[in-house]
Structure 1
Amino acid sequence: MSAAQRLDALAQAHPEWSGWLRVVRELAPGLSDPAWDADPPHAGRPSDAAPMLAGATLQPDGRALARLLDRLAGVAQAQGLQALAGTARPGRTTSPDEALAVFLAALDDDPQELGRWASRTGATPEGARALAQLLPMPYLHGCARAWSSTARGAAWSHGHCPVCGAWPAFAEVRGIERTRHLRCGRCGAGWPMPALACTYCGMRDHERLGTLSVDDKAARFALEVCHACMGYLKSCTTLQPTPSDEVIVTDLASVEFDIAAVERGFLRPPGHGASLRASLGTAAKAPAPAPARRGWS
């Protein structure tokens, strides 16, 4: 079953979520689209402590981003989600420069820039942020595919993503060896992490770490919790890695575990695990209009 099919099934099972799930479904095909691999980033200075894209020069296609943002907002509008789409959306077309600004603001979750964009569109700040966070994902998935073809991740020992700096959506306990891997919900990357270590604060004292079972009917999922920082992470057992374009679907399908964790006093850290402070390269800039030809065709 593809990511889009899983989202359709999830929308049928949870009609109260269907509006947001339809927006995510519009995004889903782009997560595995090789067209987003065409403009790889100029990576920042290599470091064992910084994500691949930290300080990088990024070159996404501004026109492709503008089309994607308009499609996402259009679906949100059709689903009655004005908080995301904004009141100024009907007939509004996003320019490549505007889409690139939203893309860059979403990477580091810049509240000022995202707030200004919300004001222009008539969306709420929270709704604009939620929609904007989807925009970089196809490009970031392309970056993660490039990263996975290297050996750089072998020495990565941090809780945040080695590609984009986001906190993981969940952990996978794989195969009969029960090796633990973290999965990024933003770019789909996966990397190994010791079982007895908090993803967020690095706590290794087993007396401060724990596992909570929430639903006996969903035994493959559990909650990893840390009593030092009061953070939590969903964990699932699986034979094979979740396909990168389905990480976001698995995260959404297990939202009841997020609710259960919050009800028990555990939270995820706000924002991302590492700021990228990336910049846009000249190839990412919207091209200037071609000058009019005179005297010939």
Structure 2
Amino acid sequence: MIIDPIATRLDAVTQAHPELTTIAEYYRTILPLIHRADLRVEPLELSREQIEQKFRAGMPLLHQVDLNFDERAARQLLIQLAQALEKMQSAARQVRARAEADRINMRLLFAAVLMGDQELAAEHAQTINLNADLLWTLAQNTFKPALRAWQSHFCATVSPDEWRKAYCFVCGAAPTFGELQGNDQARHLRCGQCGADWFYERLICIYCGYARPDKLKQFYPADQRTKVYVQTCDNCQGYIKNLAAFSPTAPELIAVEDLATLFLDYIARDQGYARQIIRPLEMPAPQELE
């Protein structure tokens, strides 16, 4: 008997949080599509010197390099994802229609996703009369297979030990959450776009670099004090979820764990905190304790 880890985890999530059943069913459809998709990316080879130069400059490995993938395969995945969403959001039919008519610029959308440039994607959505937020969400999911393929390649050869940025060292995306791994529960940030995993100090705000205990707070659910919590920063009003995982969550399950801890987002937002924008190369250095 083959056990599907995505379906198994979603079953557990909906059992614990019945109010998430509708969105979980959508995930049950799209996550296997994303996991199985092959965008036939061309391998990217970087020398040790090139990698070290990028790390010193704070530049993600996939930035400012030529990246090639199968645009037809990407378009087909976009069509499938839009079709899966049509029952929940009628505007998805328009996205599917534009994609089938080859009116969506897949190369432009990929560049927007890689650079985290939602405005660029929104401008393109406007030119073809599509819902900008919907197109952005679908684009982010469409290119996950390509980004994960490149991340998997680098994972075998690149150690991010020297990377101390809050954005992903592979693709530059903001982390989805922090994971407390191993017996020492060291925090690793996890990228929901490519699946990368890198160490980041627990008592530092990932957004503004503050490391003052009086500015950083932790909010725990009453029944899960040792498993999950929200770290907030009173300096920038940002927050990040932290989960005890011991071993890294598989890339295809990061979105599921994000959904499973949606109640943490509500806790943080109810206190006036928000996920802040992280732009590669613009993040401040961590500040020393005062």
What is the 5 A alignment of 1:1-297?
2-7=5-10, 10=13, 17-18=20-21, 20-29=23-32, 32-33=35-36, 35-36=38-39, 38-41=41-44, 46-48=53-55, 49-77=58-86, 79-83=87-91, 85-87=92-94, 89=96, 93=100, 95=102, 98-119=105-126, 122-217=129-224, 219-270=226-277, 272-274=278-280
- Asked whether the 8 Å contact 1:4–1:25 carries over to 2, the reply is yes
In 2, Cα distance between the equivalents of 1:265 and 1:133? 27
Alpha-carbon distance in 1 for matches of 2:68, 2:140: 18
Cα root mean square deviation, aligned: 2.9
CA apart distance, 1:26: 3.9
Structure 2: stretches of 5+ with no match in the other structure? 282-290
Give the secondary structure class of the aligned counterpart of 1:164. coil
Alpha-carbon distance in 1 for matches of 2:245, 2:162: 23
Residue identity opposite 1:274 in structure 2: P
The separation in 1 between residues aligned to 2:142 and 2:35, in whole angstroms, is 14
What do the CA deviations read for 1:28-64 (whole angstroms, capped 9, x no partner)? 2355548456422466874121111111211011111
SS in 2 for 1:47: helix
Higher relative contact order (CA 8 A, sep 6+): 1
Aligned residues: 272
The alignment-based identity, stated in percent, is 29
Q: CA deviation at 1:218?
A: 6.7
Q: Give the counterpart letter for 1:100 in structure 2.
A: R
Q: Identify if the C-alpha distance between structure 1 residues 273 and 109 changes in structure 2 by more than 3 Å, giving closer, same or farther.
A: closer
Q: Which entry has the higher C-alpha Rg, 1 or 2?
A: 1
Q: Counterpart of 1:127 in 2: which secondary structure?
A: helix
Do the aligned partners of residues 127 and 91 (structure 1) sit closer, same or farther apart at CA in structure 2, a change above 3 Å counting?
closer
Unmatched 5+ stretches in structure 1: 276-297
Tell me the TM-score normalised to structure 1 length. 0.79
Which residue identity is paired with 1:29?
A: P
Q: Which moved more, 1:214-223 or 1:118-127?
A: 118-127
Change (3 A) 1:218 1:126: farther
TM-score (norm. length: structure 2): 0.81
- Following superposition, the deviation at residue 242 of structure 1 comes to 0.9
CA apart distance, 1:102: 2.4
